[in-house]
A = this chain, B = another copy of it.
């Protein structure tokens, strides 16, 4: 493939017609369709670079670069870190634990939980419990050890655990991105 771009109209150098969507208020609002297509493209084939994106999206390279910079600056795209599968590194068991915390012990408990590698995620929630953690373990037996370590801390009054059996819909964001882009 030659390094040429792929000018649809080779003769006329300029045919500036904003793609994606009218820019209207794209600066402060969410994302437009071009952003959506770009995110989808990168999500599906992360290995392609900016130049390839511009080819697929039929826009100028500078546009893709600018959009990417803007998306990262706005915090829409946090990064491109590798997605590591816990199961593949020896932690095939996932569980959600709901924790009840005694008054005023919140920050201590958070610090404690943040120090446990098997705790992948921690939320404070409304409802029955006060906190919800996502934990992983090497096996069901190992899960016992992890739970003991997680709840073995002053300030955690009660806890209940739900083991994940299946994961019919793994974490995804693309459908939401499409919806946001089509706003």
Whether A158 sits at the interface, judged by CB under 8 Å, is no
Contact of A75 (CB < 8 Å), options: B43, B88, B90, B176: B88
- A119 → B minimal CB distance (Å): 6
Stretch at the interface among A5-13, A57-65, A160-168: A160-168
Contact of A47 (CB < 8 Å), options: B31, B80, B82: B80
Q: Mark A72-84, 1 if CB is under 8 A from B, else 0.
A: 0011111111111
Whether A2 sits at the interface, judged by CB under 8 Å, is no
Across the interface, which residues of B come within 8 angstroms of A47, CB to CB? 80
Across the interface, which residues of B come within 8 angstroms of A30, CB to CB? 88-90
Chain A contact residue count (CB 8 A cutoff): 68
- A7 → B minimal CB distance (Å): 28
Q: Are A80 and B81 within 8 A (Cβ)? A: yes
Contact of A43 (CB < 8 Å), options: B44, B81, B85, B167: B81
- A127 → B minimal CB distance (Å): 4
A163 to B85: give the CA distance in the assembly, Å.
26
Chain B residue, CB-CB nearest to A164: B123
Contact of A77 (CB < 8 Å), options: B82, B124, B179: B82
A167 to B125: give the CA distance in the assembly, Å.
9
Whether A157 sits at the interface, judged by CB under 8 Å, is no
Given A78-B85, A81-B42, residue A124 in contact with residue B173 (CB < 8 A): no
Chain B residue, CB-CB nearest to A180: B89
Given A30-B90, A90-B180, A129-B162, residue A169 in contact with residue B81 (CB < 8 A): no
Which among A120, A168, A171 has the highest number of chain B CB atoms within 10 Å? A168
